[in-house]
Structure 1
Amino acid sequence: MQYQAIVRKFGPAPEVVGIERTELPALRSDQVRVRLLARSINPSDIITISGAYAGRTTLPFIPGFEAFGVVEACGEEVYGLAPGSRVLPVRSAGGWQEFKDTDPSWCLRVPDALSDFEAATSYVNPMTAWLMLHKKIGLKPGMRIAVNAAASSIGSILIGLANAVGVEPVAIVRSEESVARLRGRLEAVIVDRADGDLAVGLAGRHGLDAVLDCVGGAHAGHLAAALKPGGHFVHYGLLSGQSIQPSFWASHPDIVFSYFHLREWVHSETMDHVQRAYAEVAAQLAAEVIATEVRAVFPLEKIGQALHSALPFRAGGKVLLA
């Protein structure tokens, strides 16, 4: 028997995620069974539970895109993994349960240098940040970049990775409380509390090489205006709940606009390539170049309490299920 968090209808996560006890199925000969030890609650989980991706999500389902565990058992056709291996099963949801049966080729190898909690937060945000900086914008010394929601978990990681190559970002936050949570070396801090704050804060800071935007909405135009011709605008989240308006495209033909979604990247690459990228990220974590704050830990069977604690995500720090 095992505990599983189950979604049987779409809606607000605290209302629709339930906990159930189920029998473990027989392990397939070509799969591994991973005993999951620690799991993150991420915005991507909440968005999926809401039904935003209903067209590609079949009910009922087990949420959780980021979970760390240890291989418990291997099918007789499995090679290259053995019981006791530390892994992150990726390319599918299903992390909010005690055991996950999965394709062994979808298991990222986790180095012993990472603790269980570090491992459980080493994939979604760190991989997204590293890939955007190094694959999307080609981060190098001397570049000038801006990061909004800069006091969030991923904002902190973006700042740390930028600092590692000598880049000091412009950090954009929503409150003085967020300013207090900022870490790392920064070119400037802009507190975007009310209409006009962002435009005023960016005045005189034009010529940016890149903007990393996870907020969306009307402020995208102010950020785009601060980019130099040919600058990169990478949009990877929608914390505001407001899409970027179509007029954005017509009014900014001189910038390079792109989306980034980790799920799409992972599904488009070979797992060897994904493993190499993850090894780069894990090395940054092991060297303490980047880190993720864990502010609360709940047992899986207390999923309702965990979700209430995790939301809203602007509160800072990760909530784990362990």
Structure 2
Amino acid sequence: MQYQAVVRKFGPAEEVVEIERAALPVLRRDQVRVRLLARSINPSDIITISGAYAGRTTLPFIPGFEAFGVIEACGEEVHGLVPGTRVLPVRSAGGWQEFKDTDPDWCLRVPDGLSDFEAATSYVNPMTAWLMLHKKIGLRPGMRIAINAAASSIGSILIGLANAVGVEPVAIVRSEESLQRLRGRIEAVIVDRADGDLAAGLASRHGLDAVLDCVGGARAAVLADALRPGGYFVHYGLLSGQSIPPSFWASHPDIVFSYCHLREWVHSETVDNVQRAYSEVTAQIAAKVIATEVREVFPLEKIGQALQSALPFRAGGKVLLA
């Protein structure tokens, strides 16, 4: 038997996620069973639980896109993995349970140099940051970039990865409290408290090579105004709760706009390429170039308390299930 966090209807996570006990199925010949040790609660989990991706999510389901564990058992047709191997199973949900039966090809190898908690936070944010910087904008020394929500978990990772190649971003935050949480080397800080603050802060910083935006809304146009012709605008979140207005594209025809969704990239790439990128990311974590703060840890069976602590998402670290 094992504990599982199950969603049987879409809605607010605090209301629809239930903890259940279930028997372990017979392990398929072509799968591995991973004993999960630590799991993150991420915005992508909550969005899926809400029903935003109902067209590709079959009820009931077990949430959790980021979970670390060790191989417990291997099916008879599995080669190259053995019990005890540290892995992070990706490409599907199902992390919020004690054991996950999964495709061995999509178990990313986790180096021994990472702690369990580092491993459990090594995928969603770090890989998304790596994808934006190295695949979307082609980060190189001398580039000038701006990052909003810069004091968030992914914001600090973006700054760390940028610093690793000699780039010091313009950091945009919303409060003095967030300002105190900034880590890494930055070109400048803009505290965007009210209308007009962002435009004033960027007034002397036009000609940016790239903007990484996880806020959306009307401020997206202000950020795009600061880009050079041909500059990159990468949109990967909607913290404002407001979409980028339709007028954005008509008024910025000379920029390179793209969305960034880690899931789409992982599902379109070979496992070798994903493992290669993940190895680059974990090397930066092991070297303390980037890090994710953990705020609280709850046992899986206390999922209700964990969600109450995690939501709404805010600066100050991740909530884990371990």
Could you say which residue in structure 2 is the equivalent of 1:136? 136
Deviation by residue 1:198-221 (Cα, 9 ceiling, x = unmatched): 111111110100000111111000
Point out where structure 2 has 5 or more consecutive residues left out of the alignment.
none
Secondary structure at the aligned position of 2:314 is classed as helix
Could you say which residue in structure 1 is the equivalent of 2:59? 59
1:216 matched to 2:216? yes
Distance in 2, Cα, partners of 1:18 & 1:175: 35
Could you say which residue in structure 1 is the equivalent of 2:286? 286
Could you say which residue in structure 1 is the equivalent of 2:170? 170
Distance in 2, Cα, partners of 1:243 & 1:16: 26
Query: Aligned Cα RMSD in Å?
Result: 0.6
In the TM superposition, residue 313 of structure 1 has moved relative to its aligned partner by 1.5
Distance in 2, Cα, partners of 1:320 & 1:295: 8
- Taking structure 2 as the reference length, what is the TM-score of the superposition? 0.99
Could you say which residue in structure 2 is the equivalent of 1:72? 72
Secondary structure at the aligned position of 1:267 is classed as helix
In the TM superposition, residue 316 of structure 1 has moved relative to its aligned partner by 2.2
Distance in 1, Cα, partners of 2:319 & 2:263: 21
Point out where structure 1 has 5 or more consecutive residues left out of the alignment.
none
Distance in 2, Cα, partners of 1:189 & 1:307: 32
1:261 matched to 2:233? no
Deviation by residue 1:53-107 (Cα, 9 ceiling, x = unmatched): 1111111110000000000000000001000000000000000000000010010
Distance in 1, Cα, partners of 2:195 & 2:136: 30
1:124 matched to 2:124? yes
Q: Between Structure 1 and Structure 2, how many residues are aligned?
A: 322
Secondary structure at the aligned position of 2:278 is classed as helix
Distance in 2, Cα, partners of 1:175 & 1:63: 32
Distance in 2, Cα, partners of 1:13 & 1:239: 17
In the TM superposition, residue 37 of structure 1 has moved relative to its aligned partner by 0.1
1:188 matched to 2:173? no
In the TM superposition, residue 241 of structure 1 has moved relative to its aligned partner by 1.2
In the TM superposition, residue 196 of structure 1 has moved relative to its aligned partner by 1.2
Q: Which runs of 4+ in 1 moved over 6 A?
A: none
Could you say which residue in structure 2 is the equivalent of 1:7? 7
Distance in 1, Cα, partners of 2:171 & 2:48: 28
Could you say which residue in structure 2 is the equivalent of 1:277? 277
Distance in 2, Cα, partners of 1:228 & 1:314: 31
Could you say which residue in structure 1 is the equivalent of 2:48? 48
Distance in 2, Cα, partners of 1:316 & 1:144: 27
- Taking structure 1 as the reference length, what is the TM-score of the superposition? 0.99
Distance in 2, Cα, partners of 1:193 & 1:231: 26
Could you say which residue in structure 2 is the equivalent of 1:111? 111
Distance in 2, Cα, partners of 1:201 & 1:11: 39
In the TM superposition, residue 197 of structure 1 has moved relative to its aligned partner by 1.2
Contact 2:153/2:315, CA 8 A, preserved across alignment: no
AA aligned to 2:250 is A
Distance in 1, Cα, partners of 2:229 & 2:303: 47
Distance in 2, Cα, partners of 1:234 & 1:226: 14
In the TM superposition, residue 131 of structure 1 has moved relative to its aligned partner by 1.2
Deviation by residue 1:90-145 (Cα, 9 ceiling, x = unmatched): 00000000000001001000000101000000000000101110111011111100
Distance in 2, Cα, partners of 1:22 & 1:6: 10
| Identity %, equivalent residues | 89
AA aligned to 1:32 is V
Distance in 2, Cα, partners of 1:173 & 1:15: 31
Distance in 2, Cα, partners of 1:211 & 1:313: 22
Contact 2:147/2:171, CA 8 A, preserved across alignment: yes
